[in-house]
Amino acid sequence: MSSILQKMKGLFVTEADATARPPARAQSSPSADSSDTSSDDTSSAAPVLQLADVAGQVDDKFLEILLGAMNDANTPGFDYLEYKRSLVSLQEMQMDDATRYKSAYAMAKAMEATPAGLQNSAQHYLQVLQQEDQKFLESLQAQTTRRLDGKQQEIADAQSQISVWREEIKAIEQKIQEQESAAAQMQTELEEDQAKLSQTKANFDSSYAHLKSQIQTDLENIRKYLTTA
């Protein structure tokens, strides 16, 4: 941060301000809180972003941008910024706000400043800040479109693919169940066929043995009884 902006930072940000975390404001341009004729130039702007409502803190990077815009828009002569320097210079003195503001104005009068002029000048810098706020929101919206929306589409595509795979898994699981059932049925039939074939062979062997035994008995008896006749 340049020395000029560093000095301007000292007018608006104390060490306590830099470490504090104020509540996050709504995602829309701020309006100037004033009792004069100023208007809220951004009251009709629709919310641009839908981001998490988190606490923020004063950031040097953004201060440099905002203070730089104010410095670039500094009006000639004694205006609000010079009056602010007077107010800050009186902070170390033991006086209440009313006395401090009046004392600073006493110095400002010597520079032909007027209350109306100081108010108009302050409103000018508020407008500068509001313009920077709008530029920031537009830039943030572009990043949202490029990064968040793209990522959301990637997530949707991934979820769609997951759904396809899940359906495929269901179909495969169904086929597995069908094949397991078919395999179990074939195993039962195999065992039944094995039992039938085993019984058939056993019956054949028994029949064969019976006939063989009968023939062998007859053959022995023929040899025994007929060859000696």
- Phi/psi region, residue 3 (left: phi>0; alpha: psi -120 to 50; beta: rest), is alpha
pLDDT at residue 168 greater than cutoff 80: yes
Which residues, including other chains, have CB under 8 Å from residue 1's CB and lie 6 or more apart?
9, 60, 63, 64
Residue 112 near residue 83 (C-beta atoms within 8 A): no
Tokens (6 digits) for 75: 């009006």
Q: How confident is the model over 56-77, as pLDDT tens digits?
A: 888 889 888 998 999 899 888 8
pLDDT at residue 124 greater than cutoff 90: yes
Instruction: Quickly count helices (H) and strands (E) in the chain.
Output: 7, 0
Residue 202 or 27, more confident: 202
pLDDT at residue 189 greater than cutoff 60: yes
* % the chain with pLDDT above 90: 47
Residue 78 near residue 112 (C-beta atoms within 8 A): yes
Can you tell me the mean pLDDT for 161-169?
Answer: 97
140-146 contacts, C-beta under 8 A, 24 or more apart:
140/48, 140/49, 141/48, 141/49, 144/49
φ, ψ of residue 85 to 5 degrees: the values are -60, -40
Residue 28 per-residue DSSP state? S
Can you tell me the mean pLDDT for 76-96?
Answer: 88
Residue 66 near residue 132 (C-beta atoms within 8 A): yes
Cα separations in angstroms, 151 against 21, 144, 156 = 29, 10, 9
Which residues, including other chains, have CB under 8 Å from residue 9's CB and lie 6 or more apart?
1, 60, 63, 67
Please count the CA atoms within 13 angstroms of the CA of 56 that sit on its side-chain side: 11
Residue 64 near residue 94 (C-beta atoms within 8 A): no
* % the chain with pLDDT above 70: 83
Can you tell me the mean pLDDT for 91-99?
Answer: 89
Mean pLDDT of the chain: 84
Q: In the prediction, which pLDDT does 23 show?
A: 53
- Cα dihedral value 91, 93, 98, 99, nearest 10: -140
Q: In the prediction, which pLDDT does 28 show?
A: 44
Of 119, 109, 144, 103, which Cα lies nearest the Cα of 35? 119
